[in-house]
Every structure is written in C-alpha cells, then in structure tokens.
C-alpha cells in the first residue's frame, strides 16, 4: 500500500496512507513497496520539493510498476539461488569423483580421501575444486596412457608424467605417512 508523508514530515515523521493525504502545501513524497510473493523486495520513492498532488491513477501506475519490478527482482533472486545450487551440486559430484580416485589408487577410506583433498587445498592455496580437477585430469591421462598402444618408437603416446605430478606425489607421500 503506498504511503505519503505530511508536508512537515521532516519534523514530525508522520506517515499516512495515501488516501488520507491532504492537499496541504509543502514537499511531496510517495513510497510504493515492491512486494514479491508477499516479501518486501524494495521501495520506489518519489520526492518532489514543490507541492504536488498525486492522482489515484498515478499511484495505481506506480503500484503496477512496483508489482512488475518486484516480480522481476524475485525471479532474479531465484535464478541466482538456482545457479549457486547447480554450482554446489557440480562441485559435490567432483568431490565424490576425486575421493573415489584417491580411494581406488591409494587405498584410503572415504574420510581419509576427503581430508587429503582438504589438506592439499590448504597447502597449495587452491580451491578443492581445482585440486580435484587436477586429480581427475591426472587420472584420465594415466588411464589414457595405459590403454593406448605404443607408438612406432615404442614409447606411449601420452607421457606418464603430467603437470599435476607434484600433487599426485604429495598425495602418495601423505597416504604412506598415514595422514
């Protein structure tokens, strides 16, 4: 519901419903709430230093604009929440896959694998997602080099070392140390 402040509103802080607004001279102020599913999403404020009466038509127009803006704000918030949830789900899937690789290759329990990922993330100062992506890539390279037939020179097509060798070496060292 739109509200109005009395002409001497700076002194009195008196708020009145628009229908109760008088024709007193002074500054004019109208505030229209932006409601999205009965939740306040914002406010449209119109402030004039000169006295100005607002017609019911203008207030209805502002209320309609407020309704449309609030709906759009609500949709944007939902889209943002949805994107965040999708990212969390993708990261969670990667974590499970990374833990599985460490469990399989290093014989760790699920908890040990997770703790190792956390430790590597802290030590490397990289997100767990980056660490896990490196482990997955190293695993893909390792598996690819095992399944590819040797080239004519007799060496594998994909070299056994990867840019993520240090991470794998550290993971192996930690697993052997029982950390």
Q: Are 122 and 131 in contact (CB under 8 A)?
A: no
Q: Where do you find CATH 1.10.10.10 in the chain? A: 87-177
Q: Where do you find CATH 3.30.450.40 in the chain? A: 3-81
- Please tell me the predicted confidence (pLDDT) of residue 3: 54
Number of Cβ within a 10 Å radius of residue 139: 20
CA distances from 88 to 75, 85, 94, 115, 121 (A): 20, 5, 10, 19, 17
- pLDDT band of 168, cuts 50, 70, 90: low
Q: Read off the pLDDT of residues 68-127 as tens digits, 9 standing for 90 and up.
A: 998 898 899 899 999 999 999 999 999 999 999 999 999 999 999 999 999 999 999 999
- Please tell me the predicted confidence (pLDDT) of residue 171: 56
- Please tell me the predicted confidence (pLDDT) of residue 102: 94
Residues 6+ apart with CB under 8 A from 129: 91, 94
- Please tell me the predicted confidence (pLDDT) of residue 18: 52
- Please tell me the predicted confidence (pLDDT) of residue 162: 43
Q: What is the pTM of this model?
A: 0.51
- Please tell me the predicted confidence (pLDDT) of residue 139: 93
- Please tell me the predicted confidence (pLDDT) of residue 159: 40
> CB under 8 Å, gap of 24 or more: what pairs does 68-75 form?
69/34, 69/41, 69/42, 69/44, 70/34, 70/35, 70/36, 70/41, 70/42, 71/36, 73/34, 73/36, 73/41, 73/42, 74/36, 74/37, 74/39, 74/41
In CATH terms, 87-177 corresponds, of 1.10.10.10, 1.10.287.610, 3.40.50.720, 3.30.70.1050, to: 1.10.10.10
CA distance 23 to 115: 70
In CATH terms, 3-81 corresponds, of 3.20.20.20, 3.40.50.1970, 1.10.3720.10, 3.30.450.40, to: 3.30.450.40
């Amino acid at each position: 519901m739109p509200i109005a402040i009395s002409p001497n509103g700076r002194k009195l802080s008196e708020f009145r419903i628009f229908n109760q607004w008088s024709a007193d001279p002074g500054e004019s102020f109208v505030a229209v709430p932006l409601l999205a599913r009965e939740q306040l999403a914002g406010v449209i404020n119109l402030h004039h230093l000169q006295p100005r009466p607002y017609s019911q038509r203008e207030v209805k127009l502002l209320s309609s604009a407020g309704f449309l803006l609030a709906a759009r704000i609500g949709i944007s918030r939902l889209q943002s929440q949805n994107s965040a949830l999708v990212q969390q789900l993708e990261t969670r899937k990667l974590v499970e896959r990374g833990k599985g690789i460490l469990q399989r290759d290093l014989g760790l329990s699920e908890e040990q694998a997770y703790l190792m990922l956390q430790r590597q993330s802290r030590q490397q100062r990289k997100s767990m997602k980056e660490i896990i992506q490196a482990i997955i890539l190293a695993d893909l390279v390792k598996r690819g080099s095992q399944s590819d037939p040797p080239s004519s020179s007799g060496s594998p097509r994909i070299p056994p070392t990867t840019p993520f060798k240090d991470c794998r070496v550290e993971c192996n060292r930690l697993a052997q140390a029982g950390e």
